Chains A and B, each alone.
Chain A
Amino acid sequence: MNEHLRALLLAVVVVNTVLALTTFAIWFERKFAGRMQSRLGPTRVGPFGLLQPVADAFKLMQKESIRPRQADRVLFELAPLLGATCALGAAAVVPLAPGVAPAQLDLGLLFVLAIGAVTVLPIFIAGWSSNNKFALLGGMRAIAQSISYEVPLLLAALVPIVLTGSMDLSEIVRQQAEGRWLAVWPFFLGLPAFAIFLLAMLAESNRIPFDIPEAESELVAGVTTEYTGMKFALFYLAEYAHTLIASALAAALFLGGWDGPIAPGLHWLLLKTFVLFGFIYWVRWSLLRFRSDQLLSICWRWLVPAGVALVAGAGAWVAWGPTP
Chain B
Amino acid sequence: MTVDIAFWVAAAAMVISALFVVRSANLVHAVLWLAVTLLGTAVVFALLDAPFLAGVQVLTYVGGVVTLMVFGVMLTQRHDGSVASASNVQSLRGAAAAALLFTLLLVALLRSDLPSSAESLAPDTAELARTLLDEHLIAFEVLSLLLLAALVGAVALARRGDDERGASGLPRARPRARGEAE
Residues of B within 8 Å of A105, CB to CB, are 51
Residues of B within 8 Å of A293, CB to CB, are 173-175
Q: Nearest chain A CB to B133's CB is how many angstroms away?
A: 11
B63 touches A114 (CB 8 A): yes
Question: CA of A139 to CA of B32 in the docked complex: distance in angstroms?
Answer: 15
Residues of A within 8 Å of B52, CB to CB, are 107, 110
A128 touches B66 (CB 8 A): no
Q: Give 9 closest A-B pairs by Cβ, nearest first.
A: A117-B63, A110-B55, A114-B58, A114-B59, A292-B173, A293-B173, A114-B55, A117-B59, A107-B51
A contacts with B, residue count (CB < 8 A): 32
State the B residues within 8 Å of A (CB).
Answer: 28, 32, 35, 51-52, 55-56, 58-59, 62-64, 66-68, 70-71, 74, 81, 124-125, 171, 173-177
Q: Tell me if A195 is interfacial: C-beta within 8 Å of chain B.
A: no
Residues of A within 8 Å of B81, CB to CB, are 133
B64 touches A117 (CB 8 A): yes
B71 touches A147 (CB 8 A): yes
Picked from A107, A133, A139, A292, the residue with its CB within 8 Å of the CB of B174 is A292
Residue of B nearest to A124 (CB): B70
Q: Nearest chain B CB to A153's CB is how many angstroms away?
A: 11
Q: Nearest chain A CB to B85's CB is how many angstroms away?
A: 14
Q: A121-B35, A147-B71, A167-B125 are in contact. Are A106 and B51 (CB under 8 A)?
A: yes
A121 touches B67 (CB 8 A): yes
Residues of A within 8 Å of B59, CB to CB, are 110, 113-114, 117
Residues of B within 8 Å of A120, CB to CB, are 63, 67
Residue of A nearest to B35 (CB): A121
A296 touches B71 (CB 8 A): no
